Amino acid sequence: MSLNVNSKLPHVGTTIFTVMSALAAEHGAINLSQGFPDYDGPAALKDRVKHHLDAGHNQYPPMAGILPLREAIRDKVADFYDARVSAETEVTVTPGATEAIFCAVTAVCRPGDEVIMFDPAYDCYEPAVTLCGARAVRLALAAPDYRIDWQRVVAAISPRTRMIMVNTPHNPTGMVMSADDMRELERLAARHDLIVCSDEVYEHLVFDGVRHESVLRYPALAARAFAVFSFGKTYHVTGWKTGYCVAPEVLTRELRRVHQFVTFVGITPIQWALADFMRAQPEHLASLPGFYQRKRDLFVGALAGSRFRLKPSAGTFFQMVDYSAISDLPDQEFARWLTSEKGVAAIPTSVFHAEDPGERSVRFCFCKEDETLRRAGAVLTAL
């Protein structure tokens, strides 16, 4: 029997992250492609999961997340961003940041709407827009700084523009938006009555003493924004797939209308464990910038004698590099060659663009053990 299936996402296949991780496993390569650590989360956090499993916290939690975790998030937001939010009506726990982004877009975008986003863009953004019948308007960020050109944003805004999606710190470039960027975003969103979806999953991975400029720091911006965060990134437990969204009550109400029919709830014992750990060890979050800056510096130092060209990442746990002095291969071919022939896996950056910019660059992930980074650096320096 054959079915006539008219795909809603005809251009979407298996994600590059899955492809490159599988290729790395096939060839026994050092996997610096997909963004997950090769070390485990805090022992005390894992112990709290075991505790709550045995304590019987194994049934459905409230749809928005257990209140103690939402209260811990509320307090964290106040501590880091001097923002006052309601745990009851403005914080929603979701099974991963990707689900929160999908629900945010689906909640407010309709057929014919336009959503501005910036290339290179993380691969979950446009499919969410497309499935709503809306259109992604993608503006390219120029290497090597990848700063937002706000004049181009002004020119791209039309009567159909419904949302602007931003990502800071930015995956894959490591760019970090400034206070001036946020003030310009705030001004444009207010002038054109736009909703903002701000992907801030790497909020605590900002380096060189720079402050993370969350939309939550800016009251007029926070009043029209979905701010999305990830526990997986901050606690080294990406497989737990737990994140959250902070938004004003009117937007949270709409997000929850969608969320309850997508996954309904997150995993109960993990939520209790995270609530306990956030209260018991708040210093963990404060330690993250230094922890990952040291790994960035180790990896950048390991490439110092190589033919790669780079600007040290300002945030995230990713490092973009230019390989044009090594090879003329297009980036997807280079990434496959590097993995299969040289034993180090990377992500080609053209996959983050609507149109291939023709750059000779790949993204490495440095959330790895020091010895892993040293071994990879030795291989890459020999190219």
User: Mind spelling out the 3-state secondary structure of 233-266?
Assistant: HHCCCHHHCCEEEECCHHHHHHHHHHHCCCCCCC
Mean pLDDT of the chain: 96
Position 6 pLDDT exceeds 80 = yes
Contacts of 231 (CB under 8 A, 6+ apart): 237, 240, 242, 243, 244, 274
pLDDT level of residue 14 (50, 70, 90 thresholds): confident
Q: Which of 181-217 are b and which e, b meaning 16 or more Cβ less than 10 Å from the residue's Cβ? A: bbebbbebbeeeebbbbbbbbbbbbbbeeeebbbbbb
Q: For residues 200-212, give the mean pLDDT.
A: 98
pLDDT level of residue 207 (50, 70, 90 thresholds): very high
pLDDT level of residue 327 (50, 70, 90 thresholds): very high
Q: For residues 74-91, give the mean pLDDT.
A: 98
Domains of the chain: 16-41+284-381 (3.90.1150.10), 58-280 (3.40.640.10)
Q: For residues 115-136, give the mean pLDDT.
A: 97
The pLDDT of residue 5: 86
- In angstroms, the CA 198 to CA 118 distance is 12
The pLDDT of residue 263: 95
- In angstroms, the CA 131 to CA 8 distance is 7
Q: For residues 247-262, give the mean pLDDT.
A: 98
> Would you call the peptide bond into 269 cis, given omega within 30 degrees of 0 as the criterion?
no
pTM: 0.96
Position 10 pLDDT exceeds 70 = yes
Position 2 pLDDT exceeds 80 = no
The pLDDT of residue 148: 98
Per residue, what are the HEC states of the chain? CCCCCCCCCCCCCCCHHHHHHHHHHHHCCEECCCCCCCCCCCHHHHHHHHHHHHCCCCCCCCCCCCHHHHHHHHHHHHHHHCCCCCCCCCEEEECCHHHHHHHHHHHHCCCCCEEEEEECCCCCHHHHHHHCCCEEEEEECCCCCCCCCHHHHHHHCCCCEEEEEEECCCCCCCCCCCHHHHHHHHHHHHHHCCEEEEECCCCCCECCCCCCCCHHHCHHHHCCEEEEEEHHHHCCCHHHCCEEEECCHHHHHHHHHHHCCCCCCCCHHHHHHHHHHHHHCCHHHHHHHHHHHHHHHHHHHHCCCCCCECCCCCECCEEEEECCCCCCCCHHHHHHHHHHHHCEECEEHHHHCCCCCCCCEEEEECCCCHHHHHHHHHHHHCC
Task: Specify whether the CB–CB gap between 36 and 367 falls below 8 A.
Answer: yes
Token digits for 9?
A: 């996402």
Q: For residues 54-76, give the mean pLDDT.
A: 98
pLDDT level of residue 106 (50, 70, 90 thresholds): very high
The bridge status of strand 195-199 relative to strand 243-246 is: unpaired
Q: Tokens 């009851």 belong to which residue?
A: 88
Token digits for 152?
A: 């181009």
pLDDT level of residue 307 (50, 70, 90 thresholds): very high
The pLDDT of residue 219: 97
Position 317 pLDDT exceeds 90 = yes
Task: Specify whether the CB–CB gap between 246 and 223 falls below 8 A.
Answer: no
The pLDDT of residue 1: 62
336-379, pLDDT tens digit by residue?
Answer: 999 999 999 999 999 999 999 989 999 999 999 999 999 999 99
